[in-house]
Structure 1
């Protein structure tokens, strides 16, 4: 079932594209960049975001094949309206050297195992904890926000070599993390067919 796009959203993207040329980005990268910018009204994300089109293609396939989606907080879950998500923050407890957010990530991993898409938009400690686990993710959307640990946790994500969407600066947040996942959810399924066809020809 195709998503019905509200006229306000259509106009918003039209205005975005008059102010920023995104045509040089490959398809999924462009989709993520534009939807993140749309969610924050912040054009700087065009140069702040870091991702790889090949990793996005694999994540897109996993997502549309039904891979679990794990979020760090309910605010991220609230922004992902077309897919059920796993959030274990309500079940988590802080302990010595462990925040509730980090414990929630441990609980979620015990529940879903490897191959999930992880969407971290709030807590740097959640992303830090994720990097200590053998999650073998389909994708990590690591966009936590804050002046303490956010930029450092995202740098560690990039250094880990895991398939990821991150950004260099301290900004981020639940809305932009959800937007990055939604970009993959909303992208036309015909994209997958086109990608398959392209691989067969190469």
Structure 2
């Protein structure tokens, strides 16, 4: 099923590309970078994001083969419009040394097992907890936001060697995390087509 792109979105991407040349990025990296920039109106993401095209290709295949998508908060889930997601935050409880977000990640892992795509846009502790599990993810979109632990958790993700999309700075958030996943959902099957 082809996605109908609204004229406002088309114009937004036209203006983005007029201000920033993204043509040097490989196809899926370009799709992620552009959609994240579009979601935040922040051109700095072009140099702040850290991606790997080979990892994105494998994640793209897993996603389109039906791999589960796990999110840390409902705000991320709300931004992912074309796929069901798993979010266990409502079922989670904080405990000694464990935030609700971290507990939610444990509950989600118990539910979905290995091979999922994890989309974390809010809580650095959710990302930190994921790194302690043997989740064998198809991809981790680790874009939590904040002044406490966000940059550090994303650095730990990159150091883990897991297939990932992250960024270097403290910025991030639910909208950009959802946008990165949507880039993979919306990208055409044929990479020769231009991402919109």
**Following the alignment from structure 1 to structure 2, what is the Cα–Cα distance between the partners of residues 160 and 143?**
15
Q: What SS does the aligned partner of 1:201 have? A: coil
User: Residue by residue, what CA displacement relative to the aligned partner does 1:61-99 show, whole Å, maximum 9, x if unpaired?
Assistant: 000000000000000000001000000000000000000
Sort the Cα spacing of 1:201 and 1:2 in 2 relative to 1 into closer, same or farther, 3 A.
Answer: closer
Instruction: Determine the C-alpha separation between the residues in 2 that align with 1:68 and 1:201.
Output: 23
Shift of 1:189: 1.5
**Once the two structures are superposed, what CA deviation does each residue of 1:95-149 show, in whole Å capped at 9, x if it has no partner?**
0000000000000000000000000000000000000000000000000000000
Q: Are the aligned partners of 2:71 and 2:85 in contact in 1 as well (CA < 8 Å)?
A: yes
Q: Note if contact 2:31-2:195 (Cα within 8 Å) is conserved in structure 1.
A: no
Distance 1:188 1:200, change over 3 A: closer
Q: 1:188 to 1:149 in 2, by over 3 A?
A: same
For residues 28-51 of structure 1, the C-alpha deviation after alignment (integer angstroms, 9 at most, x for no partner) is 000000000000000000000001
Quickly say closer, same or farther: Cα 1:32–1:95, change in 2 above 3 A.
Answer: same
Compute the displacement of 1:200 (Å): 22
Q: Using the alignment, how far apart are the partners of 2:195 and 2:170 within structure 1? A: 41
Superposed CA RMSD? 3.3
Structure 1 residue ranges without an equivalent (≥5):
192-197
Q: CA deviation at 1:190?
A: 2.2
Q: 1:58 to 1:199 in 2, by over 3 A?
A: farther
Give how far 1:199 is off: 18
Structure 1 segments, 4+ long, off by >2 Å, are 198-202
**Residues 163 and 77 of structure 1: is their aligned pair in 2 closer, same or farther, counting only changes over 3 Å?**
same
CA distance in 2, matches of 1:146, 1:63: 28
Distance 2:71 2:164 in 1: 14
Could you report, residue by residue, the CA deviation over 1:149-182 in whole angstroms, capped at 9, with x for unpaired residues?
0000000000000000000000000000000000
| Cα distance in 1 for residues equivalent to 2:72 and 2:115 | 16
Q: Cα gap change, 1:160/1:33 in structure 2, threshold over 3 Å: closer, same or farther?
A: same
1:1-202 → structure 2 map (5 Å cutoff): 1-191=1-191
Tell me, in whole angstroms, the C-alpha distance in 1 between the residues paired with 2:93 and 2:123.
15
Distance 2:121 2:183 in 1: 15
